[in-house]
Amino acid sequence: MNCKYCKSENVVKHGMRAGLQRYICKYCNHRFHDNQNNLPRMRNNSTVIVTSLNLYYSGLSMRKTREQIENIYGKSISQSTIHYWVHKYATLVKDYVTSLQPKLSGKYHHDETEIKVDGEGRYFWETIDQDTRFIVAHLLTENRTSEEAIKVFKQALEKQRPIAFFTDGSFSYNDAFNKVFWSRYSASKVEWVRRVGIRARETNQIIERKHSTFKMRYKVMRGLKNDESSKELLDGYVTDYNFCRKHQSIKKTPAQEAGINVNGWKELIENAHAHKINKEIQIKKEVEPIKVKSK
Ligand SMILES: [Zn+2]
């Protein structure tokens, strides 16, 4: 058996409690029952949590999600609990999903959309990989200047260096493009493709179609109340899009298409817990002085 928290195999029996076998993990020191149905530190059955996330990200409101959960499981869960789960898990898995390395086609398509947060205009920037449909960068911003473009382009670059970068016809990306992607070596040159005229509309349509489900979803997003909570929700949507939704044309999630075998919220949450604990242990180990035994 693997540790429920950090996934280590270094697990031993640790007495009984309430008729249940308890275990202790020698790696992270967490104690737990052999209760694989519950996510670490959660009282509610993980199926209920995962179903709530799936329903919410498929476009239901928090209220409708609550109603569906009651219909399916006969369990009454408050709207604020669902709200709490959506935000908690979007935040928890972010660090973990950022650490993953998808195998991408390197043909990135970039654009921004105007969205409203509490009635105020904001920009949602996103860069998507052409063949896998994986969203490699996203950001919610107040302004639309080079500074923001640089942040998004850097995020995309950190995933994988593109071979081609598609934008609309405008030259407003000049500065950001040159700062982030310029290289003196021809082998790492990034081709910048600015779509103009009729051909642009065609190329645009291909990527728009590939991407339309996600766009449709966040355009009708509810609960964009303030910037901080909107950022968390959009992170959650991007994670859901990349890892949990099968793309109709490829019959896979973008992550699966990019060679990452993580399927759905349950696995994401479990892996994210393990990722976090392992990171904490790593940090402790590096800080603690190494004890040298004297002979
Ligand atoms: Zn452990």
- Where do the structural domains in the chain lie, given as residue ranges? 1-36, 38-99+276-286, 107-257
Containing 16, the helix (H) or strand (E) segment is strand 11-17
* CB-facing half-sphere around the CA of 174: CA atoms within 13 A: 3
If one compares 42 and 77, the residue with the highest pLDDT of the two is 77
How much is the average pLDDT of 59-75? Answer: 92
Residue 226 region by backbone torsions, left for phi larger than 0, else alpha for psi between -120 and 50, else beta: beta
Tell me whether strands 191-195 and 164-168 are parallel, antiparallel or unpaired.
parallel
pLDDT at 175 > cutoff 70: yes
State the distance from the centre of ligand 1 to the C-alpha of 123, rounded, in angstroms: 41
User: Considering only 36-45, 111-120, 230-239, which range has the smallest mean pLDDT?
Assistant: 36-45
CB atoms within 10 A of CB 18: 6
pLDDT at 294 > cutoff 60: no
If one compares 290 and 158, the residue with the highest pLDDT of the two is 158
- Picking from 265, 236, 230, 260, the residue whose alpha carbon sits closest to that of residue 129 is 260
- Per-residue pLDDT tens over the stretch 183-226: 888 888 999 988 766 555 556 665 666 566 666 666 656 667 78
User: What's residue 112's pLDDT?
Assistant: 87
State the distance from the centre of ligand 1 to the C-alpha of 282, rounded, in angstroms: 13
CB atoms within 10 A of CB 250: 14
State the distance from the centre of ligand 1 to the C-alpha of 295, rounded, in angstroms: 32
Which residues have C-beta under 5 Å from ligand 1, the single-atom ion?
A: 3, 5-6, 8, 25, 27-28
Q: Which residues of 112-141 are buried (b: 16+ CB within 10 A; e: fewer)?
A: beebebeeeebbbbbbbbbebbbbbbbbbb
User: What's residue 151's pLDDT?
Assistant: 96
How much is the average pLDDT of 105-114? Answer: 90
CB 191 within 8 A of CB 200: no
User: What's residue 75's pLDDT?
Assistant: 87
Residue 271 — pLDDT band, cuts 50, 70, 90? very high
CB 281 within 8 A of CB 6: yes
State the distance from the centre of ligand 1 to the C-alpha of 272, rounded, in angstroms: 13
State the distance from the centre of ligand 1 to the C-alpha of 10, rounded, in angstroms: 7
How much is the average pLDDT of 216-245? Answer: 82
In whole angstroms, what separates CA 185 from the centre of its chain?
32
Superfamily of domain 107-257: Ribonuclease H-like superfamily/Ribonuclease H (3.30.420.10)
User: What's residue 21's pLDDT?
Assistant: 86
pTM equals 0.84
State the distance from the centre of ligand 1 to the C-alpha of 260, rounded, in angstroms: 23
User: What's residue 154's pLDDT?
Assistant: 97
Q: Which two tokens stand for residue 255?
A: 């992550």
User: What's residue 20's pLDDT?
Assistant: 83
State the distance from the centre of ligand 1 to the C-alpha of 291, rounded, in angstroms: 23
